[in-house]
Structures are given as structure tokens and as C-alpha cells.
Structure 1
Amino acid sequence: MKKAISAILAATMLFSTVVTGCGNGQQASTSSGAEGQQKTSGKTVVTFWGASVSADRQKFFDYFTKKVSETYPDIQLEFLGVPGNLQDYRQKLDVAIQAGTAPDITNDFRPALVTNGYYQDLTPYFEKWKDKGEINEELIKANKTYDPRGKGLYALPYSSQTWNMWVRPDWLKEAGMKTPETWPDFFSAVHKMTDKSKSRYGLAIRGGGGSANTLEMLMYSYSGIDHYFTPDGKATINDPKHVEFLNKYLGCYNVDTAQDDLTKGWTELANAFQSDKAGIVVHNLGSGASMAKAFNNDTSKFQAARFPKSEKGYVLHPGLMPLGLSMSSSSKNKDAVWKVITLYLSEEVNTEYCKLYGEIPANKKAAQNSFFKDTQYMKVGVDLLNSNDVKFNDTPYYMPAYANVQSQMESSIQKVMTKQMSAKDMLDQWAQLLEKARSNYLAPLNG
């Protein structure tokens, strides 16, 4: 775990040294919609919006809402689960912030909302919290990287999430192969598992929403390059090794993948894998519960596997994304909000959350639960965090425009898949956008 966090800290170290005298950013002009309300029962209302909430996830939040009422009878939690992808959630929240109707609590931690003042600095609350020692210190450090000063805690971390391949061991066995541990074996397995006469493909590629995020981590995993920028600020994403990888990986499209992969998001990829249409897909452990349900826990038909070793001989994983619950700086009931947030981090709740979401708990006691050590897919994540042959990239989550750059690249990825654009031209465009995002991030800090 410390290796993973050190990659994030190294990427932001220079930024925290050049911001002496900088403020917390412009205060967001918003007042949370239901904040301060008192029901006729006299209860304090706390509002919470959750991102990408499916039917299964809603059950957890129903449980948590009930838990809040049982633990704090004077608090009424009003939870809104926003379905769809993360971008849908962000758009809804941004509109609410502008309208002054944003919630007290959000669970999509974004650097832009640190710099614009929407988030409350939780440091004073955390320092006084009697159970602060139960939270993984490395995750606290990681979340502080979103503060340009490197000091403020703007989200209380609830977990860490690792990425992986989902593979069909039964298909691999039929093809005379094991789970690929090198990229040559990966491409060989993809080809051997493909049988178009059965509408069966060795791979499903995410060509729709979220494609850039997946593709980005895979190309770095292939090259083994563990830094996004050179010391002089040049992006590494257009390295020749990444061009080489894209020609191989996206070259599988409509050869060892289905034609409709061009527009597939995660839901469609999961359906392809679970309905015997694809042998390998890439996602995080958050899909573990749905995989287990789809295959009736039969791990001869589904398993998680870490990415193949890079050309440099080690496995390269993206930096662990800071996750956590944040409080609106304009909340009128901050003490009540803090109580709800810390209950979310209790051993019981954190365990239930992470079992469902396929994440590794921030609560140290919860992390010792046998589920995270004995469940095949969770063990892959736990082992990855502690393996000596795994390195973590310095993924620049801290740049407010980072996610926007990925969104901008999605249409270009489709052009490469359909051979309307070269991989090199796309990556050169990607590099320019990242360099501009970095320059814009540094400008006010150096001013």
C-alpha cells in the first residue's frame, strides 16, 4: 500500500512547495438544498448523493440510511442514488452547485471541487475524532494530494480500488493456455479464444464511455513507464511503446472482438463477458459481486487477474485514485454531517460497502475481514497492493482537467478503432491536452 501512495505523493510533492501564501481557492457560491431543514419530527436533515447507483447498490444505501436512524435518532438521512455513469452524476451535481441545491455529502472526490471551495476541509474534524487511528494512514495521505498545498483533508477515505482483467479460465483451458502473465501471451490468448462461428470473442474492448481511462492504464501497463510527465513537463503518453500497444490492442477490434465494441460502456462489456460472448474484459474489482452472481460463484468460469507484466519485467498498476466522502462547505449542519460520514467509516458499514463494491476497506479492522483475504477476486487486489513486483504509476488525478482530457479523447479512440486516425496522431493530440492541463494547473501555484 505504501508503494502505491508514494507514487501519488511524488507526483504532487513539488506542487506543495510552491503554494505558500495561496488560499483555499475561490469559495463556491452554493448553499446545500436541504441543509438546515428541520422536519416536523424535529430531526436534522442530512442530504447525500451517491454516484452510479445500481439496484444492488441502492440496497446498501437503504441499509445505511436505516443505520443512521438507529445510531442517531435525531438525524434523518435523505439519500439520492444517481444512476448511470460518473459523468451523469457530475453534471447533475455541477448544476445543483450553481443552483444552490447541492447535497451535504458526495462520494465522487474531485480536485476541481477542492480548488473552487465547494468542499469543506475536514482536518479539524478528523483531528478531534476519537477513531481516527482506525483509518489507513496511507489513504489519508493520498487524499491530501488533491489539496495543492498538500495539507487539507477534503474527503474521508473509505477504500482503495484496484484494476484488473476478468478472464474466463474455462475458455483459456480449452485454448491450452493459462491466465496471461505477459502481453505476448495476452494477445495470443485473445486470438485463440476467438470463434466467430459461435459469436465468441477473446476480448471485449471498451469503445464507448470510459474508453480513455481504460486504454490509458493499459498502455502504461504495457510499457512500464511509471511517470506521466518528464522533469521538463513533456507528456509520456505518446511514447513509441504506447503507439505500438495501441496498434496491437485496438487492432483487435472487429477481428478478435465484436463489431459493436465501438460503442460499449461498462454495462455492455459486463453483459458480453457474462453471456459467453467475451473471454477477457478490463475493469476494477467493483464488478466482483455482479460477476460472482452471474457465474454462481463458480471460479472455474470467472476470475480476476492482475495486468500482464510490462516490457520492463514488472506489473505496472495505475496510481490508486483518492476516494472518499466529502462535506459541502456551505452545509448548515456540519456536526451532523460529520457523524454520518464517520458512521460510513465504521467497521460494520465499511465492511458491507467494500464487499459490495469490491474495494479494500480504509477501516483497518474491516480490512481484516476474511472476505477480503479468502474471496478469489478480492485476494488479487490485496496481493497486488503488497507485491514486490508491482509498481504504481503517478497518475495525475490531482489535475482538475485530467478527467476532461480523457472525455475529449473518447471520440478519437473510436476513430483509431475504425482506422480513420492513426494511433500516433491520437496520442500526440492526447499529449498536448495533458501538457496544457498540467500548465494550467501549475500557473496559479507559480503565480
Structure 2
Amino acid sequence: MKKIINAMVLGVTVLSGSAYADTTLNLVEVITSPKRTELLKQQVAAFEAANPGTTVEITSLPWGQAFEKLATMVSSGQAPDVVEMPDKWMGVYGNANQLENLESYYKDWDHAATLSDKAQNMGRLVGGDLYQIPYGFYLRAMFYNKTLFKQAGIEQTPHTIEEFKEAARKVSELDGKYGYCLRGSKGGHGGWLMFSSIMNGSADFFDSNGKSTIDSEGSKQGLSLLVDIYKNGWAPKDSVNWGFNEIVAGFYSNTCAMLDQDPDALIAIADKMSSEEFGVIPMPVGPSGKSYPVIGFAGWSMFSSSENKDQSWKLISHLTKPESNVDWAQFVGVIPVHKGAEQDQHFSSEQFAGWFEELNKPEYEPLVFPHHLKQFGYFADVKLIEGGQELLLGTRSVDEVAAEWSEYLTEAQTEWLENKK
């Protein structure tokens, strides 16, 4: 009888232990496409195989509604354990103390030593704490059409802003061709901020008193540069409404000869054009002799409300370890985050030389947006686009729009500084 009771107790113990070990993690993907989601599922399946008893449920949100849908999930108490976190959103959730500080996990991570300094810095942009492990950089460089350059008589690729303008002018003299694929609609904020920084000769968005620099004379010259390109007819007239798909199609269809874009554009362009037809060079330098190509990033974060933090960290570390990261970066079109990635056969090709030159040469200083501001997402997605289109269409002046943008950013920075005290 005693043996039977002991066996029953042991059985209950085993069953309860098994039930305790069974864990379900919720992961939300926000930069979604069918093929991308399939790769994520493959990497998650490998994680599940290595962690018996843990299941990962993936929710893929369409990018156009992702911010609103995720915000609704969080506000209703249904925040996921792990989330794909774009740079613009870190300030929103990090400043609200809704993201888990990953520092304690990171210091014991087997791959901490190979994560690049830049990736670590990006993950700590909000409050100096590590709120995400980035999986890649979206770094701007200049695509150029070798065929159109040759037809326009351009012998050297542009290194300076003046050479960039001259190349745009020459190509635009060809029948039905334009020098530059301008992004006037969704996602176009990067162009306005990048060219204003290049012409201003600084990557600083604020002065020592917390005032925005976007209404400085140098920055306004950068805004005027894009306005002049559009008004001169060096960019297609309908580019005022162009987003990512339109500018990329404009380039590979030989409509316009230059395009500043991240490595994710390389996937579609390389599918339509041969390496003999296009190249990628660093962004042109401004009057200061320096250039400030926009650098964006995304990565994996953990919500502090997660009830399975240890397993959530295991999932993040699996998705961002070097082997997973190289495969992911190649597929989605980002620069990998681990040291030595440029030695990989895929990233050592001529097409990636422009991006790694920007990362390694002192005349190029990647431009990091003020993601510490919770208002920056709205500023980038709404105010910059609306104001930029008004500039292109000539309904408002550069002075007016720059003053409005500066006031908005200064108020946001002032609030942030006050909250730090």
C-alpha cells in the first residue's frame, strides 16, 4: 500500500512538473511580409526544438496598422512577451517603463562580446538602459544607375553635395529621365532630416540648451536642397506622394538615376538589375566635408509584464545570436549587428562596400534620430511628411516649416530634460 501511495505521489509530482515546464510565449512581429514571417517561423521552430516544453505563438501585424494594433494590445493588458521593436517606438514604450531592462541578461550572454558597439549603443538609446537587442541596421547609402550616368556623360560618382546636384541635373536632361528618386510620402522623414544635417555639418538635433537645430541656417539649406531638386524637375512630379515601393520601382525601372536607401532596397533592385547596371556609394558629403547618413534599426524587446522572462530572454538571444542574425540580415536586408559580419561572403560583395565604408570611415557619421523622445514617432510619421509635402508643393516656405518643426522638437526635448531631473 505504501508503495502504491509513493507511486501516486511521484506521478502527481511528475505531472505537475511537466505542466510547470510547459510554457507559451507570445511574439509579435510588426514589419511583416509572408516570406519574412516564414523565416521567422523557421528560426522559432529551431528554438522550440532546443527548448522542449516551450511553444511560441507568433502574431504578425501588418505594418500599416502595426503601431495602433500593438498599442491596443498593450493598453488592454495583452502585451506580448517578445516584440519586434522599431527604433521609433522605443521612446514610447521605454519611457513608459513598459519594456524589460535586459542588462542583467545581457552581461551573461555567450555572444555579448561579439555584439558591435554600435548595436549596444542603439539598444541603450532610451535612458541608457538596454531595452532591446537590435537585429540589424537600416543605413542609408546612394544607389546609382551606371547606364544613365554613362548616357548623361557623368564619369565620376558624386562624392560631394555639389557633385550630387550636378549629376541629378545632367541625368534630368535625358528624355523622360530624372536624377533623383525623391520620397515625399510615408517614410520620407529620413530624407529631410539627413540632408538638413549634411548641410548643417552636424548630427546634433539640439544645442546645449535643448533647442532644436532644424531651423538653423545650415539645416534650412538642406531642406531647400530637396525643394529645389523637386521644383527643378530633377525628381518626378508625382514623387511628392512616393513611399518605399515607388522610389525603389522608380530606380530599377530606369526612371531616376539616384536613390538613397537602406540595404532592404537591394533585394528588389538586385532582382531587377544586374551588378553591371547599378552600384552603391556612400552618401555625399556636405560643406563641412562630412556626411550624416541616416541609421535606423530594429530588434527584439521584452515587455516587462511578461510572466516568462527567462524563456523570453532565451528566445531573444536565439533570434539574435550570430548564426541566426546573419541569415536574418541577408533575408530582410539589414547590416548585421555582430562584429566581423563584413567577412561573410554575402556582405563582402561590391554592392555592400558603400554601407561598410560609411560605418568605417571618419568622414561619415551615421545620423541617429532622437528616439528618446516619445513624441518623435508622431513627428516623423505625420508632421515631417505633412510639412515636407507643403514645401515641395510650394504652399509654405522653408522658414515657416522649419520654425514649426523646431518648436515641436524643442518642446519635446524640454519635457524630456525636465523629467530627467
Which bin holds the TM-score, normalised by the shorter protein? 0.7 to 0.9
Counting only pairs closer than 5 Å after superposition, residues 2-401 of structure 1 correspond to structure 2 as 43-85=22-64, 88-108=65-85, 109=87, 110-147=90-127, 150=128, 152-177=129-154, 178-194=156-172, 197-198=175-176, 200-253=177-230, 255-295=233-273, 298-318=274-294, 320-321=295-296, 323-364=298-339, 366=341, 368-373=343-348, 375-393=349-367, 395-401=369-375
Q: Tell which deviates more after alignment, 113-122 or 230-239.
A: 230-239
What letter matches 1:155 in structure 2? Q
SS at match of 1:364: coil
For 1:165 and 1:345, the matched residues in 2 are separated by 28
Q: Is the 8 A contact 1:143 1:323 kept in 2?
A: no
For 2:341 and 2:81, the matched residues in 1 are separated by 26
Which runs of no fewer than 5 residues in structure 2 stay unpaired?
Answer: 1-17
For 1:346 and 1:58, the matched residues in 2 are separated by 18
Please state how far the C-alpha of 1:393 moved relative to its aligned partner: 4.3
Please state how far the C-alpha of 1:387 moved relative to its aligned partner: 0.6
For 1:434 and 1:111, the matched residues in 2 are separated by 14
What letter matches 1:181 in structure 2? H
Q: Is the 8 A contact 1:169 1:179 kept in 2?
A: no
Please state how far the C-alpha of 1:367 moved relative to its aligned partner: 5.1
Instruction: Go from structure 1 to structure 2 and tell me whether the alpha carbon gap of 1:238 and 1:252 turns closer, same or farther (over 3 Å shift).
Output: same
1:25: which partner in 2? none
For the pair 1:402 / 2:381, whether they are aligned, the reply is no
Q: Is the 8 A contact 1:203 1:256 kept in 2?
A: yes
For 1:98 and 1:118, the matched residues in 2 are separated by 11
1:418: which partner in 2? 393
Q: Is the 8 A contact 1:321 1:397 kept in 2?
A: no
Identity %: 21
For 2:210 and 2:256, the matched residues in 1 are separated by 39
Q: Is the 8 A contact 2:102 2:131 kept in 1?
A: yes
- Larger radius of gyration between Structure 1 and Structure 2: 2
Q: Tell which deviates more after alignment, 209-218 or 123-132.
A: 123-132
What letter matches 1:440 in structure 2? E
SS at match of 2:26: strand
Instruction: Go from structure 1 to structure 2 and tell me whether the alpha carbon gap of 1:420 and 1:275 turns closer, same or farther (over 3 Å shift).
Output: same
Q: Tell which deviates more after alignment, 166-175 or 361-370.
A: 361-370
Please state how far the C-alpha of 1:189 moved relative to its aligned partner: 1.2
Please identify runs of 4+ aligned residues in structure 1 that moved more than 6 A: none
Q: Is the 8 A contact 1:118 1:328 kept in 2?
A: yes
Q: Is the 8 A contact 2:280 2:353 kept in 1?
A: no
Instruction: Go from structure 1 to structure 2 and tell me whether the alpha carbon gap of 1:132 and 1:233 turns closer, same or farther (over 3 Å shift).
Output: closer
What are the superposed Cα offsets for residues 190-218 of structure 1, whole Å, 9 maximum, x if unpaired?
122125743x2221211111222221112
What letter matches 1:193 in structure 2? V
Please state how far the C-alpha of 1:144 moved relative to its aligned partner: 1.9
What letter matches 2:98 in structure 1? Y
For 2:328 and 2:403, the matched residues in 1 are separated by 40
Please state how far the C-alpha of 1:431 moved relative to its aligned partner: 0.8
Please state how far the C-alpha of 1:71 moved relative to its aligned partner: 2.5
For 2:277 and 2:30, the matched residues in 1 are separated by 30
Instruction: Go from structure 1 to structure 2 and tell me whether the alpha carbon gap of 1:73 and 1:378 turns closer, same or farther (over 3 Å shift).
Output: farther
Please state how far the C-alpha of 1:361 moved relative to its aligned partner: 2.0
Which runs of no fewer than 5 residues in structure 1 stay unpaired?
Answer: 1-38
What letter matches 2:410 in structure 1? E
Instruction: Go from structure 1 to structure 2 and tell me whether the alpha carbon gap of 1:321 and 1:245 turns closer, same or farther (over 3 Å shift).
Output: closer
For 2:173 and 2:22, the matched residues in 1 are separated by 60
What are the superposed Cα offsets for residues 34-80 of structure 1, whole Å, 9 maximum, x if unpaired?
xxxxx99x842222222222234233213223322332232222223
SS at match of 2:178: coil
Please state how far the C-alpha of 1:134 moved relative to its aligned partner: 3.0
SS at match of 2:379: helix
Q: Is the 8 A contact 1:143 1:322 kept in 2?
A: no
What are the superposed Cα offsets for residues 393-429 of structure 1, whole Å, 9 maximum, x if unpaired?
4642222212222222211111111111111111111
Please state how far the C-alpha of 1:365 moved relative to its aligned partner: 5.6
For 1:213 and 1:346, the matched residues in 2 are separated by 29
What are the superposed Cα offsets for residues 352-384 of structure 1, whole Å, 9 maximum, x if unpaired?
1111233232233655422222x2232222221
For 2:409 and 2:309, the matched residues in 1 are separated by 36
For 2:408 and 2:359, the matched residues in 1 are separated by 30
Aligned residues: 398
Please state how far the C-alpha of 1:179 moved relative to its aligned partner: 1.9
What letter matches 1:300 in structure 2? E
What letter matches 1:69 in structure 2? E
Q: Is the 8 A contact 2:281 2:353 kept in 1?
A: no
What letter matches 1:73 in structure 2? P
